[in-house]
Chain A
């Protein structure tokens, strides 16, 4: 709290990016964990909550007659424009936020104060939801080819690897240690995915320290061992996910890539995915396009192309497709690496796993996948997502790109995933929110030292608890798309990659479809389930009635049954009335303190909105702008529509501007 110079500023204006006419006046609060803006106005005290850890930049702009503008950009792509009447207040807020947004100790992060009111046991259960041992067993290891190695217990060989890694049975501790010495940051080849059906595997590592001519017998033996663990194939692919030029440049620094002549039976392949710096700049450029005030179509498309973002997404997908094909169709094992083997390698291994194994396309499986390829193998969450104040050059949207790859696949295979877009968006949100401990630190070692599991809560348990919100209504476990390997179209395919406005313009509700097919279908399915239950009850009653009639017994329960029916109708009607209900359900600030009480209020944002667990529906969303909110679909046919028009005013400025 000592960093807060100014806990409260009144008469602050929150601007609407799309329409200057829709600015709202309210009070700005700074708390230890959040920036909160509460609208004035007796009816709708709408609240906007932003976690300090979501703030990626704060920009103070030139003071004008109306006040001092402050622009806050968030890592979840929310952009907040405030105008603070007094320059001095603005400066104080600015200075406070600069500090609050860049904590220096893990203990300052929100997850250490966040308390969802779960007891110790529930917390522990939550952390057990995703269990990697179980996952490797599911894949079919250990078996006669693969074993668990304890060579890295106490992180003695590689401090960014997990303690338990799977390696080929023939790889002795000597070979592993020898190989680790020949790899950047000692990240030796280890199992990422094993394909039970044909013994082919995906292994991952960092680059070899080959320089121009160095060799390492143990490393060569290690690759040999990986090949032997797949008796069906007489070679393995070594996939270097970097552009060739980058890999060659690394040789001068004593690093580099495998020489096919030194390793027996490998096929070496470059797949040009650019490095974290290129990706960071690319995202930056794309976000500039997203932020344009009223871009023309050409501005937008040109800017999108110029950012190169979709090209990079495609490169990652192409690498994943290549590996999935090698494993599934050719039955060949693959060793994947980049430089350190914790960014591009994680992206590519997880995309390949997702394509290969339908389990990873379920909600639970997806959590496992992130835990396996990202969390356990030392993806540097802290550095990449800037949780603590650090080197800005380390920041890069690596996992964002993976998440987008999943979305692109969801667009191409609408029935293949158990979860929906919202699930991805919320995971992205929480990678940055630091509300849960899962993604803290840079490695398993650091997390253990920090006692994350004892001191914080797991995101997976939170998502699992709310899984009804994240279901894809089109998914059926017996559908053909949820079986086997996915085969995305390879060529021509450039037009299959689309801009993801649901993510990058997430907070501009006005830009999105006003009716959600997913929510609509989920409501239908929910009702279907109720109908199924009722049908059963009715059938039972009918059977009883017929029985009793034949036995000449009178049923006296009529009165009671009528009320039961009535009960069902009212529940249907209340479904139809949801928007009105929500808009009446407004609380005045501070309705729930951020560090305790309902966890969801802490999440973010406004409470007058749909699902409280939904970090989407935050700020700026306009009560009137969604047509009848989808949840108000009228199951019994009697439509009950809000009386106001949809999208009142929402786009007027836009039409008139041209």
Chain B
């Protein structure tokens, strides 16, 4: 397909762009296959706005006489308005944008066309391999092994080709366990707590069905993570009733009789369609222009967004607590094991593992616990909060995770190597990107699409020194402790950086951030100068004394 077919009016002049907190500017609008480009023609202050079509969530058009107005709502929650003279031009442009922003073939997406303008220092596609992770693990324990049982994606289509499993369980057993778990997602290692040797595993629900089917290999597999005489916790992210109902559809949960060493805790985390609804309501509330304080708070409350944040953080803290405080191993799952399960296991690692609070470590966490673990990014992030289409696969599961990280970050502002911008950047790229990283729903699909060969990895770009410097937290001081966040309502705040980003003045806050950076930069400069001077003096003094000695 040629994009040109979809673009009837590639260019319009005298278009006026409106954005909140900016003066309206007049300029030229151009449409390309992947971008909407607006450039103002003013000599003194030429500016360009490049918008990926894939970032457009919804578009509205209306007319006053022959002046058309297009309101574009983006997946990053920004809203812009374009006034386009000429009804035909406006209609053409609107329909082009509509078509180009809803292309249904992945291979037409921008990452397949994007040619980076930077030199690739490190191929992000191979930056975070599970083999490296396993090497680290091997240096502290020999209880685990790498299994290639899924190398053809035949045992579990949503798992990566290699996984880490208890050493005592062979591939044959894994195949059997896969048949006993929803979607073949047998329990694999998610995190190993070096401090006490406890493990966090994740999987999907067991397929016990109504007649209480059991699988000896499954029991053996999960028990292999327990020290002798110790108990473990199964954290089921569904309420008991839902877990019970799941049996009628062939699903279920680990029953005490068959898993006597495990205690099951049901910690409800909301399912994706509910989350999507909550997301939409919250964004509506944030864009509400009324001045009424009461309506704001009740809308914020009614969106339930912060409730989801609180529940999720609580579940993650619980998992971390079981591991670190109770000294127990943990198995986390919900139904499919691709959404709430991953939220819990990844957040628990943020709390427990200082490495996950570094930039590199956080990237590895996202690769390991989200991309390789088969979170269906393409389905979940197909649309954002402005979409009218109520497809049932969309959900801000990853955004909720990022916001929880932000909440912990806010409570421990010096314990993270990255800053809020880093989280924002990940949010944006998960929804629309020039990079192939978040395309596809699992490694299997990514392999079929040949993403590593045909697209650029986000990590290739982010990990360049000049980009990294934008994402570094100036306050960071490595903190090797477990960090326990507070989950009380008073401790949780709306993530303004995402939800109010476009409707609050940001200048004063940006200035504050700049000030923080400068204070620390100046301090470091002085340190360097003082150290250099000290060395210099020592040298001079040594020279000075030599003749004497």
A interface list, Cβ under 8 A from B: 18, 290, 294-302, 304-305, 308, 310-311, 314, 412-416, 473-474, 476, 479-481, 489, 491-499, 501, 505, 508, 510-515, 517, 520-521, 524-525, 527-528, 531-532, 534-535, 538-539, 541-542, 545-546, 549, 554-555, 558, 561, 565, 627-628, 630, 633-635, 639, 641-642, 644-647, 649-652, 654-656, 658
Q: A497-B293, A655-B321 are in contact. Are A558 and B523 (CB under 8 A)?
A: no
Q: A301-B306, A492-B288, A510-B486 are in contact. Are A517 and B414 (CB under 8 A)?
A: yes
Q: For B515, give its contact among A300, A474, A647 (CB under 8 Å).
A: A474
Nearest CB in chain A to that of B481: its residue: A646
Interface segment among B240-248, B367-375, B488-496: the answer is: B488-496
Between A and B, 8 residue pairs with Cβ closer than 8 Å are: A298-B304, A300-B489, A513-B412, A514-B412, A520-B413, A535-B529, A633-B414, A644-B481
Interface size in chain B (residues, C-beta < 8 A) = 81
**Chain B residues closer than 8 Å to A494, beta-carbon distance:** 290-293, 295-296
Assembled-state Cα–Cα distance A513/B522 (Å): 26
A495-B496, A538-B533, A654-B487 given; 18 more Cβ-contact pairs under 8 Å: A297-B489, A305-B293, A311-B294, A479-B515, A494-B290, A497-B293, A510-B488, A512-B486, A517-B414, A535-B529, A535-B533, A627-B415, A650-B486, A651-B317, A651-B485, A654-B486, A655-B317, A655-B318
**Chain B residues closer than 8 Å to A538, beta-carbon distance:** 530, 533-534, 537
The 9 closest A-B pairs by CB, nearest first: A300-B489, A647-B484, A414-B512, A305-B297, A301-B301, A494-B296, A311-B293, A531-B526, A297-B307
Assembled-state Cα–Cα distance A305/B300 (Å): 10
**Chain B residues closer than 8 Å to A511, beta-carbon distance:** 486, 488, 490-491
Q: Is the CB of B307 within 8 A of A539?
A: no
Q: A492-B290, A531-B523, A658-B267 are in contact. Are A414 and B508 (CB under 8 A)?
A: yes
Q: Is the CB of A491 within 8 A of B291?
A: yes
Q: Is the CB of A473 within 8 A of B519?
A: yes
- B87 is an interface residue with CB less than 8 A from chain A: no
- B141 is an interface residue with CB less than 8 A from chain A: no
Q: A298-B307, A541-B537, A654-B314 are in contact. Are A514 and B483 (CB under 8 A)?
A: yes
**Chain A residues closer than 8 Å to B49, beta-carbon distance:** none
Closest CB of chain B to A508's CB: distance in Å?
Answer: 8
Closest CB of chain B to A437's CB: distance in Å?
Answer: 34
Number of A-B contacts defined by CB within 8 Å: 233
- B12 is an interface residue with CB less than 8 A from chain A: no
Interface segment among B150-158, B460-468, B471-479: the answer is: B471-479
B interface list, Cβ under 8 A from A: 267, 286, 288-298, 300-301, 304, 306-307, 309-311, 314, 317-318, 321, 324-325, 410-415, 475, 477-494, 496, 500, 503-505, 508-509, 511-512, 515-516, 519-520, 522-523, 526-527, 529-530, 533-534, 536-537, 540-541, 543-545, 548
**Chain B residues closer than 8 Å to A314, beta-carbon distance:** 293
**Chain B residues closer than 8 Å to A495, beta-carbon distance:** 286, 296, 300, 494, 496, 500, 504
Q: Is the CB of B478 within 8 A of A639?
A: yes
Q: Is the CB of B478 within 8 A of A517?
A: no
Q: Is the CB of A501 within 8 A of B289?
A: no
**Chain A residues closer than 8 Å to B324, beta-carbon distance:** 645
Q: A415-B515, A515-B414, A545-B544 are in contact. Are A628 and B479 (CB under 8 A)?
A: yes
**Chain B residues closer than 8 Å to A558, beta-carbon distance:** 541, 545
Q: Is the CB of A492 within 8 A of B548?
A: no
Most-contacted residue by chain B among A416, A513, A534, A641 (CB, 10 A): A513
Q: Is the CB of B297 within 8 A of A414?
A: no
Assembled-state Cα–Cα distance A491/B291 (Å): 6
Q: Is the CB of B533 within 8 A of A539?
A: yes
**Chain B residues closer than 8 Å to A646, beta-carbon distance:** 479, 481-484
Q: Is the CB of A652 within 8 A of B321?
A: yes
Assembled-state Cα–Cα distance A177/B491 (Å): 54
Closest CB of chain B to A540's CB: distance in Å?
Answer: 10
**Chain B residues closer than 8 Å to A531, beta-carbon distance:** 523, 526-527, 530
Nearest CB in chain B to that of A492: its residue: B289
Nearest CB in chain B to that of A519: its residue: B414
Closest CB of chain A to B398's CB: distance in Å?
Answer: 21
Nearest CB in chain B to that of A314: its residue: B293
Assembled-state Cα–Cα distance A304/B515 (Å): 33
Q: Is the CB of A549 within 8 A of B508?
A: no
**Chain B residues closer than 8 Å to A549, beta-carbon distance:** 540, 543-544
Q: A414-B512, A476-B515 are in contact. Are A630 and B533 (CB under 8 A)?
A: no
Closest CB of chain B to A164's CB: distance in Å?
Answer: 37
Q: Is the CB of A651 within 8 A of B486?
A: yes
Q: For B516, give its contact among A517, A561, A635 (CB under 8 Å).
A: A517
**Chain B residues closer than 8 Å to A641, beta-carbon distance:** 479-481
Q: Is the CB of A414 within 8 A of B509?
A: yes
**Chain B residues closer than 8 Å to A492, beta-carbon distance:** 288-291, 503
Q: A302-B301, A501-B491, A531-B530 are in contact. Are A308 and B294 (CB under 8 A)?
A: yes
**Chain B residues closer than 8 Å to A512, beta-carbon distance:** 411, 486, 491
Assembled-state Cα–Cα distance A655/B311 (Å): 9
Q: A495-B504, A528-B519 are in contact. Are A517 and B413 (CB under 8 A)?
A: yes
Nearest CB in chain B to that of A304: its residue: B297
Closest CB of chain B to A548's CB: distance in Å?
Answer: 8
Assembled-state Cα–Cα distance A528/B290 (Å): 46
Q: Is the CB of B541 within 8 A of A290?
A: no
Q: A301-B489, A528-B523 are in contact. Are A555 and B483 (CB under 8 A)?
A: no
**Chain A residues closer than 8 Å to B537, beta-carbon distance:** 538, 541-542, 545, 561
**Chain B residues closer than 8 Å to A474, beta-carbon distance:** 512, 515-516, 519
Closest CB of chain B to A33's CB: distance in Å?
Answer: 31
Q: For A527, give its contact among B286, B490, B523 (CB under 8 Å).
A: B523
Nearest CB in chain A to that of B547: its residue: A554
Nearest CB in chain A to that of B298: its residue: A305
Assembled-state Cα–Cα distance A652/B321 (Å): 7
**Chain A residues closer than 8 Å to B304, beta-carbon distance:** 297-298
Q: A491-B291, A525-B519, A545-B537 are in contact. Are A655 and B487 (CB under 8 A)?
A: yes
